[in-house]
Amino acid sequence: QKEVEQNSGPLSVPEGAIASLNCTYSDRGSQSFFWYRQYSGKSPELIMSIYSNGDKEDGRFTAQLNKASQYVSLLIRDSQPSDSATYLCVPLTDSWGKLQFGAGTQVVVTP
């Protein structure tokens, strides 16, 4: 069973709209989650981290964690073409910092 499940997409979003990305996870013990963005041919870059239930906002990004439902989401407001990338929902799997990456969701923002 996969650690996390994400819709692979592509998720097509008009410029200026809100992109909504969802992620479910299987391990109830997972405490920390990260949203990474990866452009084609580049390494991942951290967008948001979230550790507790509720919402966390940072600029145009809002992450939400619901541990009871084992659900993590990311909203991107006012989507820009530069937001076109693969977004990865990544749980922290151990205390040493080991991360487990899935395929992520490809987002395409159309002008």
- Angle among Cα 105, 106, 109 to the nearest 5 degrees reads 130
Tell me if 104 contacts other proteins by CB under 8 A: yes
Q: Count H helices, E strands: the chain?
A: 0, 10
User: Considering only 14-22, 35-43, 66-74, 76-84, which stretch makes contact with other proteins by CB under 8 A?
Assistant: 35-43
Question: Exactly one of 43, 52, 68, 82 binds other proteins (CB under 8 A); which one?
Answer: 43
Say whether residue 28 binds other proteins (CB under 8 A): no
Figure out which of the listed residues 15, 27, 46, 59 binds other proteins, where binding follows CB under 8 A.
Answer: 46
List the one residue from 9, 67, 102, 108 that touches other proteins (CB under 8 A): 102
In the complex, least distance from residue 47 CB atom to other proteins, rounded to whole angstroms: 12
Nearest in space to 46 (alpha carbons), one of 64, 31, 58: 58
Residue that the structure tokens 């996870």 belong to:
25
CA of 44: how far to CAs of 52, 64, 66, 76, 86, in Å? 23, 20, 24, 17, 9
14 - beta bridge partners? 110
Residues 58-87 that bind other proteins (CB under 8 A): none
* 17, 20, 70, 99: which one binds other proteins (CB under 8 A): 99
